[in-house]
C-alpha cells in the first residue's frame, strides 16, 4: 500500500557545499519529488548559504534553509530546527553527503507503513570516485566502474526489496549498528509524540540510535529495506568520537527510563 501524503525531505549539512550541491540536484530530479526540502544547517559559513540561495531561486520545489550557530557538532538540535517548520505528513531524513537514487523518495513512500519507521541502506563511495563527482559536479553511478566498498547495496529491485523488507522489533544492542539517520523515514506525528531528537547529544554518535529506541519504546516497528531507497555516500574522513562515551551514557539512560520522550527535544520538558 502506498500512502497519499506530503513528504518533507530534511537534509543535514555542515560546511561542504560542493557535496550538498550534488545532493540537492539528486533530490530535485526525483521521479516523485518531495513536497518540500528543508536544509538543517549545523553552522556552515556563507558559502553554503549562497549555494542554497541559488537553488532556491532556480527550483520550483519549496526549499528552506534553517541555520544555527556553529558551537560544535549538534546534529540533533539542527534536525529539530528543521522539524519545527516541516509541513509534510511523512519525514525523510538524509545527510548532505548522500546522493539519492532517482526513485529514492518514491521508494520511501512505497515502503511507508503506519506505526513503523523505515531505515534504508547506502553505497559507500571510494575517495577517488567521490573526488571525480565533486570536481565534475555530475553524478553517474556505474555498478561496474565506480569505486565503492559495498556495491551490493547499489542493486535496485522492487521484487527483491519486497522479499527482504520485514517489520520487526530488534534487540536494543543491534540499534547501535543498524540505525542510520542519513536514510530514515517516519510519520511526523510519531516524531512529535517522542519529542523529536534529543538535544542533549553533542558530538558525533548515538543520537540516531537513541531516537530509534524511543520510537520502538512507543510501540513502533522498524523496517529495514534493501534494493530500494538507495543512496550513495560520498567519502570523507570519519568524525571525531571524543564525545562517544558521554553519548553512550545518554543512550543507556533512555533504555532505563519509563518514558519514550526525551526532555530536551522539540519542546523542553521540565519535571515541575
CB burial class (10 A; 0-12, 13-18, 19+) of residue 204? Answer: middle
pLDDT score at 173:
61
Residues 224, 261, 87, 182, CA torsion sign = negative
pLDDT score at 220:
94
- Domain with residue 154: its CATH number is 3.90.550.10
Does residue 270 sit within a domain? no
Percent of the chain with pLDDT over 70: 94
pLDDT score at 146:
76
Q: Checking DSSP bridges between strand 98-100 and strand 231-233, what pairing results, if any?
A: antiparallel
CB atoms near residue 52 (< 10 Å):
24
The domain in which residue 173 lies consists of: 7-256
Does residue 262 sit within a domain? no
DSSP E strands, 54-208 = 63-67, 90-95, 98-100, 116-119, 122-124, 166-168, 183-187
Q: Checking DSSP bridges between strand 90-95 and strand 183-187, what pairing results, if any?
A: antiparallel
Q: What is the pLDDT of residues 203-215, one digit of tens each?
A: 888 899 999 999 9
Residues in Cβ contact with 98 at an 8 Å cutoff, skipping those fewer than 6 apart: 23, 122, 182, 183, 231, 232, 233, 234
**Average pLDDT of the chain, as a whole number:** 91
Does residue 106 sit within a domain? yes
* pLDDT score of 272 more than 60: no
Q: Are 122 and 180 a contacting pair, CB within 8 Å?
A: yes
Does residue 11 sit within a domain? yes
Give the global pTM.
0.94
pLDDT score at 55:
98
Q: Are 124 and 149 a contacting pair, CB within 8 Å?
A: yes
pLDDT score at 134:
93
Q: Are 225 and 120 a contacting pair, CB within 8 Å?
A: yes
pLDDT score at 2:
59
Does residue 20 sit within a domain? yes
- Segment 234-260 mean pLDDT: 86
Highest averaged pLDDT of the listed ranges 25-34, 143-152, 233-242, 261-270: 25-34
- Segment 140-151 mean pLDDT: 80
Distance from C-alpha of 50 to C-alpha of 17, rounded to nearest angstrom: 9
- Segment 74-78 mean pLDDT: 96
Does residue 261 sit within a domain? no
Domain count within the chain: 1
Q: Are 116 and 222 a contacting pair, CB within 8 Å?
A: yes
Place of cell 521484487: 159
Q: DSSP 3-state assignment of 179?
A: coil
- Residue 64 phi/psi, 5-degree rounding, is -125, 150
pLDDT band at 179 (very low <50, low <70, confident <90, very high): confident
* pLDDT score of 224 more than 80: yes
pLDDT score at 205:
83
pLDDT score at 1:
52
- Segment 50-69 mean pLDDT: 97
pLDDT score at 177:
59
Query: Among 16, 161, 176, which residue's Cα sits nearest to residue 99?
Result: 16
pLDDT score at 70:
96
pLDDT score at 259:
92
| Cα dihedral 93/95/101/107 (nearest 10) | -10
* pLDDT score of 172 more than 60: no
Cell of residue 205, nine digits? 554518535
Q: What is the pLDDT of residues 133-142, one digit of tens each?
A: 999 998 888 7
Does residue 208 sit within a domain? yes
Does residue 271 sit within a domain? no
171 vs 183, higher pLDDT: 183
Amino acid at each position: 500500500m502506498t500512502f497519499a501524503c506530503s513528504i518533507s525531505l530534511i537534509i543535514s549539512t555542515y560546511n561542504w557545499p560542493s557535496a550538498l550541491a550534488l545532493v540537492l540536484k539528486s533530490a530535485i530530479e526525483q521521479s516523485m519529488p518531495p513536497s518540500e526540502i528543508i536544509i538543517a544547517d549545523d553552522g556552515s559559513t556563507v558559502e553554503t548559504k549562497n549555494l542554497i540561495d541559488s537553488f532556491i531561486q532556480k527550483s520550483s520545489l519549496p526549499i528552506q534553509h534553517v541555520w544555527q550557530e556553529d558551537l560544535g557538532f549538534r546534529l540533533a538540535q539542527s534536525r529539530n530546527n528543521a522539524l519545527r517548520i516541516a509541513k509534510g505528513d511523512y519525514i525523510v531524513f538524509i545527510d548532505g553527503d548522500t546522493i539519492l537514487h532517482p526513485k529514492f523518495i518514491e521508494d520511501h513512500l512505497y515502503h511507508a507503513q503506519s506505526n513503523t519507521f523505515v531505515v534504508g541502506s547506502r553505497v559507500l563511495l571510494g575517495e577517488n570516485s567521490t573526488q571525480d563527482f565533486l570536481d565534475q559536479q555530475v553524478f553517474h553511478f556505474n555498478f561496474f566502474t565506480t569505486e565503492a566498498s559495498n556495491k551490493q547495496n547499489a542493486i535496485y529491485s522492487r521484487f527483491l526489496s519486497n522479499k527482504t523488507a520485514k517489520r520487526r522489533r530488534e534487540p536494543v544492542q543491534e540499534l547501535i549498528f543498524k540505525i542510520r539517520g542519513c536514510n530514515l523515514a517516519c510519520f511526523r506525528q510519531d516524531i512529535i509524540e517522542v519529542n523529536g531528537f534529543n538535544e542533549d547529544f553533542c558530538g558525533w554518535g548515538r543520537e540516531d540510535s537513541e531516537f530509534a529506541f524511543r520510537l520502538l519504546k512507543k510501540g513502533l516497528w522498524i523496517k529495514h529495506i534493501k534494493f530500494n531507497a538507495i543512496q550513495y555516500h560520498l567519502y570523507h574522513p570519519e568524525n571525531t568520537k571524543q564525545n562517544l562515551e558521554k553519548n553512550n551514557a545518554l543512550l543507556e539512560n533512555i533504555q532505563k527510563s519509563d518514558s519514550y520522550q526525551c526532555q530536551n527535544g522539540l519542546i523542553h520538558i521540565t519535571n515541575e
